[in-house]
Structures are given as C-alpha cells and as structure tokens.
Amino acid sequence: MSTAERASYETLALLIDGRWKTDAREGETVFDPATERAIGWLPHADDADVSAALAAAQRAFESWRETSAFERARVLRRFGERVLETAEGIASNIVRDQGKPLEEALAEVRFAADHIFWHAEECRRIYGREIPSRDVRVHQRVVREPVGVCVAFTPWNFPFSQAVRKVCAALGAGCTLVLKGPEEAPSAVVALGRALQEAGLPNGCLNLLWGKPSVLSARLIADDIVRKVSFTGSVEVGKQLAALAGRHMKRTTMELGGHAPVLVFADADIDACARALATQKLRNAGQVCIAPTRFYVERPAYDSFVERFTEAMRITHVGAGDEPGVQMGPLCHARRVQAMQTLVDDAIAHGATLATGGTRLHERGHFFAPTVLCGDLSAARVMFEEPFGPLAAIVPFDTFDGVIEAANALPFGLASYVFTRSSAQAHHAARRLKAGMVSVNHFGLALPETPFGGLHDSGYGSEGGSETFDGYLATRFITQFDSLP
C-alpha cells in the first residue's frame, strides 16, 4: 500500500466520548473487494473501551434528553449540510471498501442526507396528547420520552445510509447511541461520526465501536445501561440478537433479510419492465435486502420477459467501482462469491437452465457475473434462500391464486413487487401479498417519509416515516386530581 493510497482512505478509529482512538491491541485489515489489496487498519475495542463508551452515552443522555427538539433539529440539519459538502469523499471511500460503483455510492450518501433533513424536521413533531377526563377535577395526559441509551448494529451493503437511519432516529428522539458499524466497510461510519462532531453534537451522544460482532453484541446488549437495540442484517443473526435482548427485556427493532417476489402479469409493458427490473436486480451487485429475487412471470409473457431480462443482464458492464462506465461492482467479500456459485451449481443440478452468467469474473477481486436461472427451479435452493447477489430466478405462473400462494410460501416478508396495467389486479395482489412493503409498477420503497420494515422472519419495527421514532420513545400516562376551590 503506497503512501498516496494511505492518505486517500479514511483514518479508521474508535469514537468514545468525543475522542478518536486509533491505537488498539487488536484490530483487522480492511481490503478493497475489487483488488483484494489492503487499504486500511481498523482498531478493535477492548472491554475497557466498551465500558467507557456506554458510560459516556449514559452521561450524555442526561443532558441530551433535556435538549429542546429545536436544538436537536439544528444539529441534524448541520449534519446533513456537512454530509452534502463531503459527499464525494465519503462516496469514494465506500467504493474502496464496499465495492459499489461511484455513481451508486454518491447516490447513497446524497439520499442519506435527504433522510437526515427529514428527521431534523420530523423530530420537532414528537407530540403527546391530552385525554378528556370523566371528571372535571382530573387532568389526563400522555407524554413520549426518549428511552435512554441505544445500541445499533449496521450492515456493510449500505454502510452510510443504514447507519444514518438509526443515528438520526435515536438522536432526534433524544436518545444517545453506541454504534457498531460493519468491519468490512467501515469508512462511511467513521465519516458519519466526524460530520456529527463538526455539526456540534455533544460528546458522548454518539460512540463508535469496532470488533468481533458476536463478542460486542453480547457485551452491549447485556449491559444494564442499554435500553434499546436496533439491528439490520441477516435473519439468523437477528434472531440471535432478539433472543438475547429478550432475556434482558430490551426493546428492539429488527430489519432483517428478505427474498422479494416479483409478479409480472402479461398485460404489463414487458420490455420496459424487464429492463427496469434488471437494473434494480443489479443495484449494489444484488446485495440489497429489498432486491427483486424471485421472478414470477405470467406464462404468455414468460419467454419474452426472459429474453429481454437476460439480455439486459448480459450486457451489464462489470468492474471496479471507480472505473468509467461501470454498472456493477464486485461483491463485498469472498464469501458472497462462493455463495453465488453454490446456488448456481445447485439449481443446475436440479434441472434449471442457466440463461446467462453463473461464473466468477476476473482473476482478482470478488466479481461474479450477472446471472439468470430459469426453467425447472421447483427444488432449487435459490427459490428458498435469499441470494443477496446478482442472481435472478425466473419461473412462469398460470393463475392469480397460484402466484400469490407461491409468493407467500416463504417465511420472509420484507418487500414485494407487482407489475400490471390492471388497477384491480394490482389492488388485489397488493392486498394479499404478505410483505411489509409492496411496490406496484415502480420501485418506491425506502423514502425518508415512508415506513420501512418487514413481517414474519423479515423482522419488526419500522425505520422511516413518522413511525421511525416509535422504537426510541417510551409512552407514559400521567393523571392528576385537582380539587375544585
């Protein structure tokens, strides 16, 4: 790693009570997934660091909770402004450690700023209410108060925007936070911490820790200081953390995996639909929890859709995220490449047809070709396991009831998509699909003002929309008797 490369990448550190710590007895090397070259060193927190971060968050909470909503909003607005001012640098480092194309990384950072500004406005509207009493001498009111110190665990696929959602909801509600970001792609979370400091956030309100996920999560969730846990990640890990939080009676928000079905009816604009879905499928190399993954196409349109969709996937320019014209970057780490190959090999062994892709690309880096599987997929694992990569499985359907049953057959329920020109068909499909979010004829999910969350194994609780603060607020009822003069 050259001196120039060291200077260009974010200096990675712990943040505890407003102080950055770069030295540690243990840590890990961060790699560029496009080149597999080392680009930075990430220090790990020891037990003393964890204790110090929690203590700092608790001290800061006592004053931050009393800070007016207008002051909290002011800090968040300055945070958003600082993010926009430094967006190019943050995005460039996301390309380096996460792998997505620069255009996508910039979009992530700028869209996250939109979330920040929305939270800044909405946190001023956390209201209680007065309840009319049955006795004129009684006053009844409901107040909503911050729950306390929160811990959050955020993923590597959208390292900046996912952290922003949790940080803004917690801080906007008046809580303080200990955040463990993704060790694979840490630069964006460090940049987030620096931007909040520059925005005037008091010391201790946000603390950043890194380390072995299983060790840190167990330590943080079990601590008496912590009152709320927020996690975005896999179903398997989410269930483990939810069980741990339950043992300690900690409230939780769980945004877990999905396996989004797409229902394409024969009356849809097949050409436009196929091109749009291929683009959406390959966003962030398919490493998106709401990515379309199970494609159900009405039989009269099946061959046409497969042909157009496959061609759009085949011509995609795959390469390093900072190369001109690149449309899809590498997968974040080698484990995802092996997972893709395993799913493809299994599908072919069970009789599926490989329409395009199906192999690793390039001699170096974690690249996998955009892949389309079709034909007999009834026994293939890809129809039951979230691929979380550039792999699409396409099957035909014949009846409305049949496709709804197939779409709802899995325990996941995060996102689903419907494409049809029939408003009645769209309405009935949206009503019957068992998913926390349904998008009809476009990709309208994850806006700041709309709730984002799933059902069943895809988790519970919402981020975004007015619901975003619910998990960070305690509801209290106060009743008072006043005797009349």
The tens digit of pLDDT for each residue in 167-192 reads 999 999 999 999 999 999 999 999 99
Which of helix, strand or coil describes residue 237?
helix
d(CA 135, CA 141): 14
d(CA 386, CA 46): 34
Q: Where are the beta strands (DSSP E) in 213-332?
A: 226-232, 251-255, 260-264, 292-298
Residue range 23-41, pLDDT digits in tens: 999 999 999 999 999 999 9
The β-bridge relationship of strands 176-180 and 226-232 is: unpaired
- In terms of C-beta density within 10 A (0-12 exposed, 13-18 middle, 19 or more buried), how is residue 483 classed? exposed
d(CA 117, CA 85): 14
Contact status, residue 295 vs residue 392, Cβ threshold 8 Å: yes
Reply yes or no on whether the pLDDT at 6 is more than 80: no
Residue range 205-260, pLDDT digits in tens: 999 999 999 999 999 999 999 999 999 999 999 999 999 999 999 999 999 999 99
| Nearest one of 320, 332, 350 to 186, comparing CA atoms | 332
CATH 3.40.309.10 domain extents, the chain: 260-447
Read off the pLDDT band of 485 (50, 70, 90): low
List, by residue number, the catalytic residues: 255, 289
Residue range 441-482, pLDDT digits in tens: 999 999 999 999 999 999 999 999 999 999 999 999 999 999
User: In the CATH scheme, what is the homologous superfamily, with its name and number, of domain 3-256+459-475?
Assistant: Aldehyde Dehydrogenase; Chain A, domain 1 (3.40.605.10)
CATH 3.40.605.10 domain extents, the chain: 3-256+459-475
Read off the pLDDT band of 8 (50, 70, 90): confident
Other residues' Cβ atoms within 10 Å of the Cβ of residue 58 = 18
Reply yes or no on whether the pLDDT at 7 is more than 50: no
Residue range 78-115, pLDDT digits in tens: 999 999 999 999 999 999 999 999 999 999 999 999 99
What pLDDT, on a 0 to 100 scale, did the predictor assign at position 339?
97
What is the CATH class of 260-447? alpha beta
Reply yes or no on whether the pLDDT at 4 is more than 80: no
